[in-house]
Chain A
């Protein structure tokens, strides 16, 4: 399978990337690791006329301790997130979940920013960063702005990024005392598949993978936990407020069942790590 024709441009800096995006307008797409976009292009489900390759911008690949939060460069690869000592210490949920994305070859190419900007509700990291209450930084030709992750995912493959805006950094607050319990549960049919359903838990935050057109917080579960419910009682409410699809892999009812089961497992595991 071969993508339809396009023009390839390699950006030498974030600034140049934004200028190229402004020049080519809506015909252009940013290319990071390419492991979401290129498969869609090979299937002709996407056909941008211009690809602006930002994958080589090593200046946007970093993990730094900023005191109250960890700053993650948008072009940091899953492999580097997975193996970061800093994250193992401060944000083990993020490091662990990055190691669950695809397979080693995919993690050598795919980036955290690419995964977020792609806006696929079946991807792992969008829900993980929702549970972690991250803030995203996007750069346009007029400068940078911050976007709370809760306002970022608007629909299937649709995000709050304006045309031409480049996601440059993800800021993840360090969980406070008493909120350090975490878990990531993912159910797949094959080892490297997308989650049929996934659940990310950090402290009292619970986020769901593939239970709606966007990743979403399980607010009914969170409210039950805040009200003193047991993990089992809270998990029973995991499908409330969701709108899971039925597709070739699973029916909506099965996904709702999985959401409850996986949430129960996640809350139990997180509680065991909270001390």
Chain B
């Protein structure tokens, strides 16, 4: 079937199988491979992207369902070569170890801060319950989220 998605501001039209998952569309059709597939069972959050500005797990959304909608991946966050405040906070707070969960963590935090610009530490930890870090590097990830919230303006 024909699908039309806007990914990181760019319209992409493609003929795909009806059963194609959004994460496979992003990686294999849009050639945006930052979004990782890990558990593939809606548990780990590594494949988190924004759909119409809200975090979703792209292993559990069909490309067909996303047709006509806006998708943002971690590749779409930086503007004019400048890192998004959440990306910068991960860099400064050492919010990653192996880096595999990072794209999903960053997108989940962008969505979290959009809904709640000044979360408490507990709200950050609860807000990230859908994202797993197998290095168990949660402490610096939470620190990065709180540091990003400190910056004046967090654009989506």
Interface residues of A (CB under 8 A from B): 1-8, 10, 31, 34-35, 38-39, 42, 51, 53, 55, 79, 102-106, 108-109, 191-192
Contacts and interface: CB of A to CB of B under 8 A. Distances in A.
29 contacts: A2-B24, A5-B17, A5-B18, A5-B19, A6-B18, A6-B19, A7-B18, A8-B1, A8-B18, A8-B19, A8-B64, A34-B60, A34-B61, A34-B62, A42-B40, A55-B65, A102-B42, A102-B130, A103-B129, A104-B108, A104-B111, A104-B129, A104-B130, A105-B56, A108-B54, A109-B56, A109-B60, A191-B129, A192-B43
Contacts of A31: 65
Interface residues of B, number: 29
Contacts, number: 77
Contacts of A191: 129-130
B112 A104 contact: yes
Contacts of B130: 102-106, 191-192
A8 B65 CA distance: 9
Contacts of A2: 19, 21, 24
Contacts of A55: 65
Given A38-B60, A55-B65, 16 more contacts: A2-B21, A5-B17, A8-B18, A8-B64, A34-B62, A42-B41, A102-B42, A102-B130, A103-B45, A103-B131, A104-B111, A105-B55, A106-B57, A108-B56, A109-B61, A191-B129
Interface in B16-65: 17-19, 21, 24, 40-43, 45, 48, 51, 54-57, 60-62, 64-65
A105 B57 contact: yes
A55 B48 CA distance: 19
A104 B56 CA distance: 8
Contacts of B17: 5
A105 B60 CA distance: 10
Given A105-B48, A105-B130, A108-B54, A39 B60 contact: yes
A4 B55 contact: no
A7 B56 CA distance: 23
A189 to B, nearest CB: 12
B18 A35 contact: no
Most chain B Cβ neighbours within 10 Å, of A7, A38, A51, A53: A38
Contacts of A8: 1, 18-19, 62, 64
B127 interface: yes
A34 B55 contact: no
Nearest to B64: A8
A242 B49 CA distance: 41
Nearest to B44: A192
A123 to B, nearest CB: 14
A262 B131 CA distance: 27
Contacts of B48: 105
Given A105-B48, A108-B54, A191-B129, A35 B65 contact: no
A127 B22 CA distance: 32
A3 B60 CA distance: 11
A207 B114 CA distance: 35
B108 A105 contact: yes
Most chain B Cβ neighbours within 10 Å, of A5, A6, A103: A103
A123 B51 CA distance: 25
A104 B1 CA distance: 30
Nearest to A43: B41
A5 B18 CA distance: 7
A3 B20 CA distance: 8
Given A38-B60, A39-B60, A104-B111, A53 B65 contact: yes
Nearest to B112: A104
A42 B18 CA distance: 13
A79 B112 CA distance: 12
A55 B69 CA distance: 13
B45 to A, nearest CB: 6
A32 to B, nearest CB: 10
Nearest to A191: B129
A2 B127 CA distance: 28
